[in-house]
Amino acid sequence: MKEELEFNQNAFDNIDMGKSIIALVDCDSFFVSCEQKVNPELKGKPVCVLSGHGQCVISRSKEAKKLGIPMGIPTFKLTKEMKKATLIAASQDLYSEISNQVMAVLKSLSPKVEIYSIDEAFVDLTGLSRLYKKNYYELAQMIRELVLKKVDIPVSIGVSSSKSLAKLASDKAKNIQGGVFLIGAGKLNYVLKNTSIDEIWGIGRNLSKLLRQNGILTAYELVQKSDSWLDKQVGIRGIEMKHELLGEMVSVVDDSFKIPKSIQKTSAFGIFTSDIEFIKNQLNYHIHSACKKMRRLDLKCSGIGVMLRTKIEFKVYYEKITIPSPTCYEWEISDIVFSLLEKIYNPNIIYRSSGVILDEFSPNSGEQMFLFSDSEKKQKSERLAQCIDKLENKFGKNIIQTGFIKSDFR
């Protein structure tokens, strides 16, 4: 422990095992932090977020952990003491909206960001030390402060010269003051000796068992093994793991494009309202930006969903449909969204936000004409969409308002 403290003070570790510097930015108790962001009176209190149907705990605040609430506990097993915590049902759309905001801040700082999960991203910091005139510890602190200031979400950051070590560092960052942990050449052996193989990224139960049977209990013991031994026992993955743990970047920060699982456009209204026309207007705005994104990615969707969130309880109403003939056009999606809206809208409820969720994507070009679709209409739609996108690219966002629901192109 004493030794570890000394290492923390030695924060200006000049990481030089490899040429790259990688940070893993990991949001602290992410789902709970999101709930605390939208409901600040929950800050500093025991709070738990429950899985979709409310059966078990999937995120806990520090204070909830202190009450002894274990991760994954089913709600019926909570003791009287544990029930002092505020229990909240998960709101996936809220979390992905806030996740996007966190990722946007990271992308504004580094050109290479790999979104690893909803609350974690690898950020390539190589060369940024010079750009921002800060050492890597200060740089990580700056990222942490910026995310907190702009999005109001606390993060922990691990910094090292490979992804595996950055991940390890971020686990250690969670438990120290300041939320930043660096693993550089000076600390490497100490950290590896104090890391059990189960803590290493990518080592599952089976591999852990195999390594243990061979007397390998720590990361340090793993890196002592020869490449040929690891190749024979574990395969290429074992060799890669060893070199990553020695600080060589085997797996690079991959910021390449992946087809998104869904495109979600949601936002809070400027005012709380029950006004259906206002809500439709907001939805049209979301539909338009989602369609634009879809066309930019050359995709069309079959899954169309709409959601409304209530003012008082933050309750979400959601309705989704899968259409037989995929589309990427506002005027087609708008009709469908409005008919879904009718199913969830209640004039007696006041709402705070709305959103559109598109998924089940397929490539737009080279499409098979749907049996009953009218090809002339399709071509007209395509030309109209191209026209809108061109105008917007030239004259700026939202130069064209989506008031064309009743247009001739339907």
User: Rounded to the nearest whole angstrom, what is the least distance from the CB of residue 24 to Mg ion in the complex?
Assistant: 10
Give the residue with the Cβ less far from Mg ion, 30 or 137.
30
Q: Would you count residue 170 as binding Mg ion (CB under 5 A)? A: no
> Is residue 114 within the footprint of Mg ion (CB under 5 A)?
no
Q: Applying CB under 5 A, which of residues 13, 26, 63, 93 lies at the interface with Mg ion?
A: 26
Residue 330, interface with Mg ion (CB under 5 A)? no
Q: What minimum distance in Å lies between the beta carbon of 18 and Mg ion? A: 25
Query: What minimum distance in Å lies between the beta carbon of 102 and Mg ion?
Result: 11
Beta carbon of residue 200, minimum distance to Mg ion (angstroms, whole number)? 18
| Chosen residue from 13, 97, 119, 332 binding Mg ion by CB under 5 A | 119
Q: Residue 65 or 237: which CB sits closer to Mg ion?
A: 65
From residue 25, alpha-carbon distances to 126, 167, 205, 295, 364 in Å are 15, 9, 25, 31, 35
Piece in contact with Mg ion (CB under 5 A), picked from 79-87, 105-113, 116-124, 400-408? 116-124
Whole-number minimum distance, CB 71 to Mg ion, in Å? 12
26 or 114: CB nearest Mg ion: 26
| Range in contact with Mg ion (rule: CB under 5 A) among 113-121, 219-227, 247-255, 348-356 | 113-121
Minimum CB distance to Mg ion smaller for 114 or for 119: 119
Strand order in the sheet with 351-363: 262-273, 351-363, 299-310, 316-327
Which positions lie near Mg ion, rule CB under 5 A? Answer: 26-27, 30, 119
